[in-house]
Amino acid sequence: MRTEALTAFKRCCDAVSPYTCVKQALRLTSEKLTIYSPSGSVAVDVSSRTRFIITAFGKASIAMATAAEEQLGGRLHEGIVIAPNVAGAKAVPNLRSRVFHGARNNLPDSDSVAATHEALKSIERNDSSDSIFLFLVSGGGSALFCAPDGISLEEKLLTIRTLAANGADIRVLNSFRQKLSAVKGGKTLNYVKKGQVVALLMSDLIDNLIQFIASGPTIPQTGSMVEMSKALTSSPKWTSLLPARILNKLQDPAPSSVKPHNIIVGSISTALSALKEYLTNQGYDAHIITSTLEGNATQRGKDFAELIMSPRKGLLTALEKFSGSVKGELGEKVALLFGGETTVVVRGSGKGGRCQEMTLSCLATLASSAKPLPSFLFLAAGTDGQDGPTDAAGAYITNIDVKRDIVTQATEYLETSNSYQFWSSYNNGQNHIKPGPTGTNVMDIQIVLMDFVH
């Protein structure tokens, strides 16, 4: 099961390769730029005078820019790529675009701000009626495309850390980011006065809420979007955590005359489909249960434990906790597949991430129960290869890990939000999943494999 699950995870990450998604999406002729996506196609008129300016940011920025440069060929005029500053990061010599690095540990920093400033100068310098600004946006873009407005970077960091530590999900976090930024929430469009805007997006959000992908820098804010943002940022649950100085700086975006084309070219649905195809070929009765898994990571770990402890005939009922269902009776060898993004409430000074915490919670719950278990595997991992501020994507467990004497230790690590250290030391780190940065980001996946025969 271990090999099958880890191979399946790799297959799902490969399926949402940003390079492939962009390469398949863009087609340029002498008369048109056509963008293809799962939801249809968009065509933009071009002429011999048309020039393209790339602005790419996010964990997939280098791969997306590489594909875009290949498709645009000699029509590329200038490009700025802002990529994560991770171990081994370096400029890509084959790119014509200038490459900047920032956001070490997945948090905005002075390098992010400086790179964003360069990107904005590029936009203003090249703005003309012959320009098409091609934005390539992926998860992690909020930390890389960063221009605090009215507050310092340190104040913005503290704001986001405070909200995240108290369980704020990505919609809440990005709503606050938008209101404290000069580029997020559609504000980047205000830097374009004459040119056209086309944005290709790799979605890392539940339900593909386009206004929250990388905090929506190229998304005009509709009335419903503004209302949603207002409801989230005015809730006492969050405003009570922040000082008046920050609350007084929250700003809505100014309207822009630019009518951009924003197109999603990759999402969690593609990744889950690849998981299902691979595991079906391995002989599993594979089912996609949900692509919108949310909630607290620790609680979801307990829910997965309850699912694993359910008898075969009780699985359909157990799946109701995940708002999922399966038609008909499940087979003897089952693969249940989930996607989404949970949250963590930080309870100590430890180090971890939602996938590692979820798996640890699942293990602690299983180990504290005397219920019989089928042969099983549970895996939770982030498709970006980076679960929280760590170098691990997640972790997995099987029957051999469920030991009564591990409950106390697992619980102690959970209570201090120190799941990374647990998985680093447990079993010599063998249960840790460390593929390195995958270059993509379409949220997290969870795999439950169960064999009711062996």
| 58-68 per-position pLDDT tens digit | 988 999 999 99
Beta strands in 88-202 (DSSP E): 98-102, 131-137, 196-202
What is the structure's pLDDT at 88? Answer: 56
316: Cβ contacts below 8 Å, ≥ 6 apart: 325, 326, 330
pLDDT at 206: 76
The predicted pLDDT at position 220 comes to 93
Half-sphere exposure (CA, 13 Å, Cβ side) for 86? 21
pLDDT for 410 beyond 90:
yes
Taking residues 84-94, what's their average pLDDT? 69
The tens digit of pLDDT for each residue in 290-349 reads 999 999 999 999 999 999 999 998 898 899 999 877 877 889 999 999 999 998 988 888
Q: d(Cα 287, Cα 280) in Å, to the nearest integer?
A: 9
Note whether 317 and 437 are same-domain residues: yes
Q: What is the pLDDT of residue 119?
A: 98
Token pair for 136: 């390539």
Tell me the longest C-alpha to C-alpha distance in the chain: 72
Q: Judge whether 96 lies within some domain.
A: yes
Q: Are residues 236 and 294 in the same domain?
A: no
For residues 256 and 275, state if they share a domain: no
How far apart are alpha carbons 170 and 43 in whole angstroms?
32
Domain containing 416 equals 268-451
Tell whether 251 and 278 lie within a shared domain. Answer: no
Task: Please tell me the predicted confidence (pLDDT) of residue 396.
Answer: 98
Are residue 341 and residue 423 in the same domain, yes or no?
yes
Does the residue 115 lie in any domain?
Answer: yes
Per DSSP bridges, beta strands 51-57 and 131-137 are parallel
Domain co-membership, 189 together with 338 = no
How far is residue 121's CA from residue 127's CA, in Å, rounded to a whole number? 10
Q: Exposed, middle or buried, 375 (CB in 10 Å: 0-12/13-18/19+)?
A: middle
In the predicted model, what is the mean pLDDT of residues 112-127?
97
| Spatial distance between the Cα atoms of 36 and 55, rounded to a whole number of angstroms | 19
User: Which tokens in the block code for residue 184?
Assistant: 């997020």
304 and 164 co-located in one domain: no
Residue 177: what pLDDT? 95
Single residue among 266, 284, 309 that ends a domain in this structure: 266
Radius of gyration of the chain (CA): 22
427 and 378 within one domain: yes
- Out of 218, 233, 266, a domain closes at 266
Mean pLDDT of the chain: 93
Q: Report the C-alpha gap between 142 and 394 in whole angstroms.
A: 22
The CA distance from 50 to 53, in Å, is 10
The number of helix segments (H) and strand segments (E) in the chain equals 16, 15
Read off the CATH number of the domain in which 386 is found.
3.40.1480.10
Query: Each residue of 294-309: b (16+ CB within 10 Å) or e?
Result: ebbbbebbbbbbbbbb
Last residue of a domain, one of 266, 289, 305: 266
Q: What are 132-152's pLDDT values in tens digits?
A: 999 999 988 999 999 999 999
CATH of the domain at 52: 3.40.50.10180
pLDDT of residue 408: 94
* Cα(227)–Cα(300) distance, integer angstroms: 29
Return the residue matching tokens 């649950």: 237
Reading the block at residue 227, the tokens are: 């209302």
Residue 222 has pLDDT above 70, yes or no: yes
Q: How far apart are CA 300 and CA 290, in angstroms?
A: 13
pLDDT of residue 328: 78
Dihedral, CA of residue 336, residue 354, residue 266 and residue 107, to nearest 10: -170
Percent of the chain, pLDDT > 90? 79
Q: Is 133 exposed, middle or buried (0-12, 13-18, 19+ CB in 10 A)?
A: buried
Which of these ranges, 20-34, 94-108, 366-380, 390-404, has the smallest mean pLDDT?
Answer: 94-108
Are residues 309 and 398 both part of a single domain? yes
Q: Average pLDDT, stretch 86-115? A: 84
Q: Residue 90 above 70 pLDDT?
A: no
**Does residue 215 lie within any of the structural domains?**
yes
Q: Which of 158, 174, 252 is nearest to 206 (CA)?
A: 174
How crowded is the C-beta side of 341, counted as CA atoms within 13 Å? 23
Q: What is the average per-residue pLDDT within 230-254?
A: 92
For residues 22 and 155, state if they share a domain. Answer: yes
The model's pLDDT over 165-185, given as tens digits with 9 standing for 90+, comes to 898 988 899 999 999 999 999
Contact call for residues 139 and 441 (beta carbons, < 8 A): yes
Instruction: Answer with the residue of higher pLDDT: 207 or 277.
Output: 277
Check residues 242 and 454 and name the one with the higher pLDDT: 242
Same domain, 186 and 242: yes
Asked if pLDDT for residue 198 goes beyond 80, the answer is yes
Taking residues 247-263, what's their average pLDDT?
A: 89
Supply the pLDDT for residue 77: 97
Q: How far apart are CA 71 and CA 256, in angstroms?
A: 29
Strand partners, 445: 339, 381
Taking a C-beta distance cutoff of 8 angstroms, is the pair 41, 34 a contact? yes
Domain total of the chain: 2
β pairing state of 51-57 and 40-45: unpaired
Q: Are 316 and 380 contained in the same domain?
A: yes
Return the pLDDT at 73: 93
CA distances from 173 to 45, 169, 186, 222 (A): 37, 6, 16, 19
